[in-house]
Structure 1
Amino acid sequence: MRFPIALVTLPAALVAATPAGRRCTGTISSLDDVAAAQKCATININAFTVPAGKSFDISAIDGATINMLGDVKFGVANWAGPLFSVTGSNLIFNGNNHTFDGQGASYWDGQGGNGGVTKPHPMMKIKMSGSYSNVKVLNSPAHVYSVSNPAKLVMSKLTIDNSAGDKANSKSDGKAAGHNTDGFDVSTNDLTIEDSTILNQDDCIAINKGSNIIFQRNTCSGGHGISIGSVSTGATVTGVQVLNNKVLDSDQALRIKTKADATDASVTTVTYTGNTASGIRRFGVIVDQSYPSTLGTPGNNVVISGVNFGTNDIAVNSDAQRVVVDCGAKCTGAWDWSAL
């Protein structure tokens, strides 16, 4: 006995495992375009100006590719920020050497986040995994990048140019107008930052907590050098590699700073090797457990151990100190400076 077979054609929407919209290309030319564009697997950002007091936020689908096709400028307003954020997993973000312009000169008053006018910071909030490359940031109001990736992230071939903030202006009382312009504030795991240039007036990178962090082949100029910390109560920093970087014309080259009142915190398994520094104004290498003081009374409740210095070429100015260690009771290890 034979039975007839009925062929039923299902609607395409039921057949597709992935919604068709995710295969689209979304284009952002204003904030009005973001909601639709971020549903697509490819997002292209054209040149436009973000209105003052608004944040440009992308929450991309997993695996999306984001391309900058033009420069993005942010309007000026005294508010908390951030100016830009990107969120997602396994993203490819390619800036194609285009620029995010924070118009920092309109905010700079020599006080950064410590006073004066309210400055949006951080300027750039990175909450993605995957790769983030070929992006330029010009004139951030204060801190540049805050990085809190959910899984492995490689940031490469970036430029941060706050060099215009080196000069005083009418609001900075003779001091550098740019202040608190940290390049990267890092509290995360599984992060690599490489092959980048940072011109600023504060820490090139500040690793506040986290693990498996690599900072390599970068150039830091004009600021406070490469920092671990300041380390606060409850923070753990471990598995950090600082490799083959150049630090130029900065207050410090390599620094570990922990807060004097911090407890239940540690800095362990840190390697510095292949780094070069010149024009260092204060300290070539400084390990200081008295923060926010400098070389004050160190705290005794933060463990520092397993810090290894390989071959590093550190040149300081004539009135600077090459190596200083201001440690409390839990700062241990064989400090071998012979390869500096």
Structure 2
Amino acid sequence: MMSFSESVTLLLLVVVSISATLNGYESIDYATAVNLTADYCYARSYEEVSSIVKECKYIVLVDFEVPAGKTLELDLQKNAVLLFEGTIKFAVAHWDGPFIHITGKNIQVIGGTNHLIHGQGELYWDGHGGSGGVTKPQRVFSVNVQGGTFKNINIKNCPMFCVSIIGNDLTFSGFNIDNNDGFKNGLGRNTDGMGFSHSNNIVIENSKIVNQDDCVNVICSSNAVIRNVHCWGSHGLTISSGLSTSDRNNDVQNITYEDCSIGGSLGGIHFKTHPAGGHGTVDQVTYRNIEIKDVTRHGIEIQQDYPNNDGHPSNNIKISNLNLINVTGTVKGKTTRGVRISCGSGSCTNWNWSGVKITGAHKKDDCNFHPNGYSC
């Protein structure tokens, strides 16, 4: 049997031998990690977490409840490995959140086979989301990390906003976000799936999101790929700009959505800029191989009149090189359109679309700008 030092040495060899794509360390999978957990520090209660995070690089959180109104703060050491086991849930309190906040550098966070992060949103939902009703904690899973991988994380019933990301050189793979209970009586609102801002070099992949707002939302970020992500009930595969009055906080560059699907949703592709914000540039955004099914408003909506939808767009955000390739699907309902484009004067340039076809619309496309390769 290995000694403690030998086991740690083996783990370090596994952890630090990674691909150059993520700062030179290699991610490990759960099966590998769990075989080494005899040398991990186990936290089986909220009260144990703070000291264990300070003392240990290799940590397992096991099956406990976080007290009402408290954040599970996980300020991980450099190169730390964190495993979730069992159910981590959060006692009810009407406060802002977040429930979990993870910081660190070159870290790995892995969900165990039967783990669950349970936000107990069903005890908060009242049909109002963030616009009224009871105060709901925002962000079940908040990340501010420089370099890392997050694998196979299961999240259920977010009161509001599920996963919030700030950081660089991060991969999120195998996320399963389940807010299906929020459809009962239309009570779940603003349960955004995954969103990132002020970030660079982000990958979100191989994930499933069931929710009642944006499925994935990109804000003020660069160099990201969202691939093989499948959404249900959401508001869209989204790009957002103009949220800030500061010009430098509105830029979005080099973002790709590919091999994704979205269905039973309010929107399919949703690209929105806020007229009240500062100036900015959105450049080199690509949607490739996107399947849209049974959307109830617009299959594809690029709008510079958000949120008023009043046909009076602003040109504070310049949108260039917007590429749609093989985007197909269906919409249904009496108010649906396949495509709506509402651009501000002179703010949209060099859009190239091919293989774009949305069927089932009851209204004609509504476009004040015409992409190359698409007639609307």
The two structures have a TM-score, normalised by structure 1, of 0.88
Q: Pick from 210, 219, 228: which aligns with 2:239?
A: 228
Asked whether the equivalents of residues 25 and 37 of structure 1 are also in contact (C-alpha less than 8 Å), the reply is no
Aligned positions of 1:142-221 closer than 5 A? 142-149=160-167, 151-168=168-185, 176-187=186-197, 188-221=199-232
Q: Which amino acid aligns with 2:187?
A: A
Q: Are the structure 2 counterparts of residues 28 and 189 from structure 1 closer, same or farther at C-alpha, using a change threshold of 3 Å?
A: same
Rounded to whole Å, the distance in 1 between the matches of 2:75 and 2:354 is 49
Matched, 1:84 2:100: yes
- 1:93 maps to what in 2? 109
Rounded to whole Å, the distance in 2 between the matches of 1:62 and 1:143 is 27
Q: Give how far 1:230 is off.
A: 4.7
Rounded to whole Å, the distance in 2 between the matches of 1:318 and 1:177 is 21
- 2:3 maps to what in 1? none
Rounded to whole Å, the distance in 1 between the matches of 2:305 and 2:254 is 23
Asked whether the equivalents of residues 301 and 329 of structure 1 are also in contact (C-alpha less than 8 Å), the reply is no
Asked whether the equivalents of residues 265 and 303 of structure 1 are also in contact (C-alpha less than 8 Å), the reply is yes
Q: Which runs of at least 4 in structure 1 moved beyond 3 Å after TM superposition?
A: 334-338
- 2:152 maps to what in 1? 134
- 1:124 maps to what in 2? 141
Asked whether the equivalents of residues 242 and 276 of structure 2 are also in contact (C-alpha less than 8 Å), the reply is no
Structure label with greater radius of gyration: 1
Q: What 5-or-longer segments of structure 2 have no aligned partner? A: 1-38, 357-376
Tell which deviates more after alignment, 255-264 or 40-49: 255-264
Secondary structure of 2:144's partner?
strand
Rounded to whole Å, the distance in 2 between the matches of 1:239 and 1:231 is 17
Task: Show CA shifts across 1:152-194 (max 9, x none).
Answer: 00001011100100111xxxxxxx1000000012102211110
Rounded to whole Å, the distance in 2 between the matches of 1:296 and 1:123 is 35
Secondary structure of 2:214's partner?
coil
Rounded to whole Å, the distance in 2 between the matches of 1:48 and 1:109 is 26
Rounded to whole Å, the distance in 1 between the matches of 2:215 and 2:176 is 12
Rounded to whole Å, the distance in 1 between the matches of 2:261 and 2:233 is 12
- 1:67 maps to what in 2? 83
Q: Pick from 95, 105, 113: which aligns with 2:122?
A: 105
Q: Give how far 1:109 is off.
A: 0.6
Q: Which amino acid aligns with 2:234?
A: G
Rounded to whole Å, the distance in 2 between the matches of 1:185 and 1:244 is 18
Secondary structure of 1:218's partner?
strand
Q: Which amino acid aligns with 2:90?
A: F
- 1:3 maps to what in 2? none
Task: Show CA shifts across 1:80-99 (max 9, x none).
Answer: 11011111011110012411
Q: Give how far 1:336 is off.
A: 4.2
Secondary structure of 1:270's partner?
strand
Secondary structure of 1:54's partner?
coil
- 1:280 maps to what in 2? 295
Secondary structure of 1:122's partner?
coil
Matched positions, count: 310
Q: Which amino acid aligns with 2:83?
A: N
Secondary structure of 2:303's partner?
strand
Identity, in percent, stands at 33
- 1:258 maps to what in 2? 273
Q: Which amino acid aligns with 2:126?
A: D
Secondary structure of 1:105's partner?
helix
Rounded to whole Å, the distance in 1 between the matches of 2:148 and 2:349 is 36
Rounded to whole Å, the distance in 2 between the matches of 1:180 and 1:318 is 22
Q: Pick from 242, 255, 267: which aligns with 1:240?
A: 255
Secondary structure of 2:95's partner?
coil
Rounded to whole Å, the distance in 2 between the matches of 1:295 and 1:331 is 17
Rounded to whole Å, the distance in 2 between the matches of 1:184 and 1:69 is 22
Task: Show CA shifts across 1:58-110 (max 9, x none).
Answer: 10100011011211011011111101111101111001241110100110011
Rounded to whole Å, the distance in 2 between the matches of 1:281 and 1:318 is 6
- Whichever structure has more helix as a proportion of its residues is 2
Rounded to whole Å, the distance in 2 between the matches of 1:190 and 1:51 is 35
Secondary structure of 2:47's partner?
helix
